[in-house]
Structure 1
């Protein structure tokens, strides 16, 4: 059975969440079981999965000092970073708050020690209070809120109960199980017309003797331009890539598609230099909690990112990709 066939019959997250609350006096609270849901989701995601080296429970992390103040997991990455994670498992009707019982304020305070390069909040709720998003966006440490819609977007065949869930998380840590099937299923096979387009572009570029070889690829809407362009860069063995798109919403879509096609093995950054754009339709996407990558508005920060050594895992140096809107072109070219 192929990965695509498995994913067409995958069990939804809702089935697992109901199983985790069976027999509980309060079916709106998932408790510590949801932490394993967060683990499996992160291992399975194209944005984060390939970067994760190990996930510790707080009490098992070698650097833990004192009692848990809201950090449920500590994640180490293949490029040497540490991330802090809080899992918030509630019913979909319960709103994720900033302050008070069930809020994220204590977690953000506990994680803001300088040890962590990223703060992640995974919630089963599809409701996030405005002040929670706003305060998360203003954190000095990049903070991402991964809500129910993000969980449901994963191509994951969710386990049937807590035992299967723990087994799936353990398998993911070994590079096996449903998490790996999910990552593989996210990569689309090229259609014949896309394979032809890739071959034609590569041939066109190879036929030019100049150092600034160029090619133009024209494809109608809905024919897979994003997947095709990604395949061109793979065929060329490109190491540094700039992807320009018309809007911030398309930037987020293109980034996720590229990450899926690369099985997450990309080093990415998003560029938005004109903050006035935020006032229009793309405002919610521009929130750093919505873009699953570093975001910058400054050319110096971009230059520093490009000068970095990159991510090397299993002996492979990952390509670096800059995603930018047309509006932000000046930020990409300013020296």
Structure 2
């Protein structure tokens, strides 16, 4: 068993009753939300529901809400329920009904459901994706990847955090090369083999190229990758970070019927809301408001967004004063290739190239597998007056700032 699984098993065997088990787990999550790097910056305060209710002259009786958190940027309240189940328990609708009823008021703008299982019934997944007040799920997998060292956790002591990573020599080479390249070019490519640490390397590039007081946009093709990247960046950053997650309505289960089947197949990576581990916005005005309120926080401000939600970011800049990005990082950048037709709606993946659409000082395109079109395809595109985005086009992607091929990574013993 993992250290966290061992810890939860101790709760089960040492607690005098199921209620005590729940209390132990609630205290663990209180610690998690106060010390896990992302939530530590997201929330200015986290209370037990009883303490929060008492401050407001409410009864504080058990209503299905265990904890309440207040966001640092906007002062909104998030309702939190902590569910301590056996590992093989399968979440049913009845397990969460009381929480949804208690938190379905104007007091709360978001809900967090924290559970000790990864098993869900289909009706519960459907319910979670169609809530007026959004729901974020923190499951056992998410807790396992906490910065907190669960093997050293004690319920009565401050948590011990795992050591932060340092750049390895091949990553340091990439870091230096990209920063040097950006002195001469506003765009460029970072090509690194899978498993060599592109995400961590890009964090250190952002810290050096942008840094405190500046805004970075990190684009990914899926909600799952958004969660993974946001986790690694917040846990490993050596400068204070304020992070904001953005997704589209279609990705969180809203407005699906507005898409044709063809659009869904081409554009929408319909990933369940269970994949998104952090509260996210789909509204450009709220995004701009939250970022602008954090400009004086002595932090680097990072917006993590999917390519599908790029219009949210665009509108936040165009209409709500979000401001220029110091750096845009396009992950899985081979996805941004393809044709742009004059008489057809442009793909979300290619809009990032347009500096009039997204204002930024620098653009970094990262991938392990650059996609390049052959001469025949290029000639056909030119003949048909079609813009073809190919990764060997330096006018779009810039030069190769650093290249670490798979064969070289293997030869260096990196894989």
Shorter chain as normaliser: what TM range?
Answer: 0.7 to 0.9
Instruction: Give the aligned partner of residue 262 of structure 1.
Output: 237
Question: Quick check: 1:268–1:320 contact (8 Å CA) kept in 2?
Answer: yes
**Aligned position for 1:94:** 89
CA contact under 8 A between 1:272 and 1:328: conserved in structure 2?
Answer: no
Q: What's 1:193 paired with?
A: 170
Match of 2:244, SS state, is strand
Deviations 1:140-194 (A, max 9, x none): 2221121222222224333678xx31x23xx3xxxxx32xx14xx3x42111221
Task: Measure, in 2, the Cα distance between the counterparts of 1:303 and 1:226.
Answer: 28
Which residue of the other structure, out of 172, 181, 198, is the alignment partner of 1:225? 198
**Residue in 2 aligned with 1:241?**
216
CA shift in 2, pair 1:134/1:25, >3 Å: same
**Residue 130 (structure 1) aligned with residue 107 (structure 2):** no
Change (3 A) 1:17 1:220: closer
Matching residue of 1:174: none
Aligned residues: 299
The answer as to 2:275 corresponding to 1:290 is yes
Residues 1:74 and 2:68 aligned together: yes
Q: Distance in 1 between matches of 2:129 and 2:18?
A: 31
**Correspondence 1:130-209 to 2 at 5 A:** 130-158=122-150, 164-165=154-155, 167-168=156-157, 171=158, 177-178=159-160, 181-182=161-162, 185=163, 187-208=164-185
Question: CA shift at 1:124, angstroms?
Answer: 1.2
Bigger radius of gyration among the two: 2
Quick one: which of 36, 41, 53 aligns to 1:50? 41
2:366 corresponds in structure 1 to none
Check the 8 A contact 2:88/2:119 in 1, yes or no.
Answer: yes
2:249 & 2:76 partners in 1: Cα distance? 26
Q: CA deviation at 1:278?
A: 8.1
Task: Give the direction of change, closer, same or farther, for the CA distance of 1:17–1:294 in structure 2 (3 Å limit).
Answer: closer
- Distance in 2 (CA, whole Å) between partners of 1:64 and 1:133 is 35
- C-alpha separation in 1, matches of 2:351 and 2:188: 24
Is the CA contact 2:79–2:111 (under 8 Å) kept in the aligned structure 1?
yes
Per-residue deviation, 1:133: 2.4
- After TM superposition, give the deviation of residue 227 of structure 1 in Å: 1.3
Aligned partner of 2:324 in structure 1 is: none
Alpha-carbon distance between aligned partners in 2 of 1:196 and 1:267, rounded to the nearest angstrom: 27
By how many angstroms is 1:272 displaced? Answer: 4.1
Partner residue of 1:302 out of 284, 287, 290 = 284
Measure, in 1, the Cα distance between the counterparts of 2:45 and 2:102.
20
Q: TM-score with structure 1 length normalisation?
A: 0.75
Distance, in Å, in 2 between the alignment partners of 1:104 and 1:315 is 36
- Which shows bigger deviation, 258-267 or 137-146? 258-267
Measured on the aligned residues, the alpha-carbon RMSD in Å equals 3.4
TM-score by length of 2: 0.62
Q: Are 2:42 and 2:242, in contact at CA under 8 Å, matched by a contact in 1?
A: no
Change (3 A) 1:149 1:278: farther
Match 2:247 to one of 259, 271, 283: 271
Matches of 1:313 and 1:122 in 2, distance apart?
30
Aligned partner of residue 16 in structure 1, secondary structure: helix
CA gap 1:73/1:252 in 2 versus in 1, 3 angstroms: closer
| Contact preservation (8 Å) 2:33, 2:46 | no
Supply the distance in 1 between the matched residues of 2:148 and 2:93 (Cα, whole angstroms).
29
For 1:277 and 1:46, the matched residues in 2 are separated by 35
Query: After the TM superposition, which of the residue ranges 63-72 and 239-248 deviates more from structure 2?
Result: 239-248
Counterparts in 2 of 1:277 and 1:39: CA distance versus 1, 3 Å? farther
User: 2:179, 2:48 → 1: CA distance?
Assistant: 47
Match 1:250 to one of 205, 225, 228: 225
Counterpart contact for 2:86–2:116, Cα < 8 Å: yes
Provide the C-alpha distance between the structure 2 equivalents of 1:132 and 1:122, rounded to a whole number of angstroms.
Answer: 14
Aligned match of 1:4: none
1:323 to 305, 312, 320: 305
In the alignment, structure 1 segments of 5+ residues that lack a partner are: 1-9, 172-176
State the shift of 1:58 in Å.
Answer: 1.4
